[in-house]
Structure 1
Amino acid sequence: MTRTMSDPTPQTTTVQNPRLRLLNKLRAGEFPVLTFMAIPSVRMAQIVSLTGLDGIVVDAEHGHIGDDAMHNSVSAIASLGISPVIRVRGPAHDILKRALDTGAHGIMVPQVNNADEARQVVASAKFPPQGLRGQGSAFPAIAHGLTTPEYMKSANETIITMLQIETKAGVENVDEIAAVPGVDLLFIGPNDLAQSLLGYTPARGDEPEFVAAVDKIIAAARKHGKWCGRMTNDGAASKEGRKRYDMVSMTGDTKAIQNWYIAELAVARS
């Protein structure tokens, strides 16, 4: 069971839900800015949510995030009007199901390498008849501000499915990945992409192979009517990203804390 071209998607949905800040900004072309959160704390989720960001990627891949922290963070983020996204640790059906049952407004799946993997993700992310997702939790509807029946009717066409393109194989197959119905956004992971293509990270940004890969990913997204985003390190890079991307996720909580202290300690000790 998979989606077809005729099924409504986040790009084509007519559902109006003011709680879905990320989706609404993407549809309006307003260039949402997100960040990553790796520290498992409701208070961290609340503090970051109050900064004016449009979404927070709760990082269950590389962050110190387990199931409890994932649920608690999504609840805290959504309650403050920000869109929670879960970066899962892999594409397995049970992992995606657990992430979606938090009430996440979107999922981000790392290291997608081919169209078969993309189809597997989509099948796990969608309720029947478009997919294989099971229903049994009262929690996901809460973060959407809906009843469970309302959530069941709208989830397939409002939850954003983001696939990370960050390997050589992913770049080689990106056109086929982007063509899969139900894939909504291609997200560039620049560090892993550089490591895969160049053998080191971070990329300088001017390496021909790296530049060509980024261009190819963006072109595939545009060709198939999908959104495209990437991770950025700071506000300047995020502002520059407006020229090419539909959204960015700007650094993360751990780096933000470290960078502030490093900079201020340098001043204090000067």
Structure 2
Amino acid sequence: MSAQTTWPTALTTKVENPRLRLLNGLQAGSYPLLTFLAIPSVRQAQVVALSGFDGIIIDCEHGHIGDEAMHNSVAAISALGVSPIIRIRGPAHDIIKRALDTGAHGIMVPQINTADEAAQIVASSKFPPQGVRGQGSAFPAIGHGLTTPQYMKTANETLITMIQIETRAGVDNVDAIAAVEGVDMLFIGPNDLAQSLLGYTPARGDEPEFVSALDKIVAAGRKHGKWVGRMVNNGTVAKEAKAKFDMVAITGDTKAIQNWYMAEIDVAKS
């Protein structure tokens, strides 16, 4: 089902910009792959961006990413033809503005529980008349390969707004959240969701309440024409998730480094 909107969004836009790799992949249904970046380094951002991902989620919620590193990572990632997405630490208006002023191709907002919260995020993410975002930086246009006037004309309908559903309240209200105009994607945080629903994390994956919650989130996204994504731990799970999700994020840089080293050390010592 198509998203029902009174103005173009990332789901319905006809704007063509080859720099927007994630948006183009989602619109084409090509199942983009992302990962999380938690380490504050331009070189780290470049290494991960050259690994083959369509987008990189710069983790300002749980990662060691401050304001300067956020700006530097966005610049490095976008310059290499990959889409930088910023997971902000909370839904405050100034935080959203600051994240988008880096030139990010979208934002991910954690632990959203109500439609009102989602609507406020959309308002903070859009320039008037759809929202209340202010303009004053040249950096957003640079991240999109545009002039500032071009960016101002297209930003409202090309920036991807991802809402994380990872609490019991979020699941309970997910249909209303998905119905909010300007919400482009529901993104499942499986670890926090398991903790909220089951009292432990990670989930095994077969718990009826957990499975039911995942199905409810996906159904809400499909009903309202929104993309649905989730985090997974490895490529095998990512391949399996393709049947149900539009996009996945495969773990993150810190776990990838640790897991590789631990596996190689085990081989060396065997």
Q: Which category of TM-score, normalised to the shorter sequence, fits these structures?
A: over 0.9
Residue of structure 2 equivalent to 1:28: 28
TM-score, length basis structure 1: 0.98
In structure 1, C-alpha distance between the alignment counterparts of 2:113 and 2:119, rounded to whole Å: 11
Equivalent position SS for 1:230: strand
In structure 1, C-alpha distance between the alignment counterparts of 2:107 and 2:249, rounded to whole Å: 13
In structure 2, C-alpha distance between the alignment counterparts of 1:96 and 1:30, rounded to whole Å: 28
CA RMSD of aligned residues (A): 0.6
Deviations 1:163-188 (A, max 9, x none): 00000000000000000000000000
Using the TM superposition, give the Cα deviation of residue 6 of structure 1 relative to its aligned residue in structure 2, in angstroms. 1.1
The amino acid across from 1:222 in the alignment is: R
Residue of structure 1 equivalent to 2:236: 236
TM-score, length basis structure 2: 0.98
Residue of structure 2 equivalent to 1:80: 80
Residue of structure 1 equivalent to 2:110: 110
| Structure 1 unaligned residues grouped into runs of 5+ | none
| Structure 2 unaligned residues grouped into runs of 5+ | none
Identity of aligned residues (%): 75
The amino acid across from 1:201 in the alignment is: T
Residue of structure 2 equivalent to 1:167: 167
Equivalent position SS for 1:156: helix
Using the TM superposition, give the Cα deviation of residue 146 of structure 1 relative to its aligned residue in structure 2, in angstroms. 0.1
Using the TM superposition, give the Cα deviation of residue 5 of structure 1 relative to its aligned residue in structure 2, in angstroms. 2.2
In structure 2, C-alpha distance between the alignment counterparts of 1:211 and 1:267, rounded to whole Å: 35
Runs of 4+ residues over 2 Å off in structure 1: none
| Residue 156 (1) aligns with residue 156 (2) | yes
The amino acid across from 1:117 in the alignment is: E
In structure 2, C-alpha distance between the alignment counterparts of 1:128 and 1:170, rounded to whole Å: 28
In structure 2, C-alpha distance between the alignment counterparts of 1:103 and 1:124, rounded to whole Å: 15
Using the TM superposition, give the Cα deviation of residue 71 of structure 1 relative to its aligned residue in structure 2, in angstroms. 0.2
Equivalent position SS for 1:11: coil
In structure 2, C-alpha distance between the alignment counterparts of 1:116 and 1:29, rounded to whole Å: 29
The amino acid across from 2:256 in the alignment is: A
Using the TM superposition, give the Cα deviation of residue 116 of structure 1 relative to its aligned residue in structure 2, in angstroms. 0.4
Residue of structure 2 equivalent to 1:138: 138
Equivalent position SS for 2:69: helix
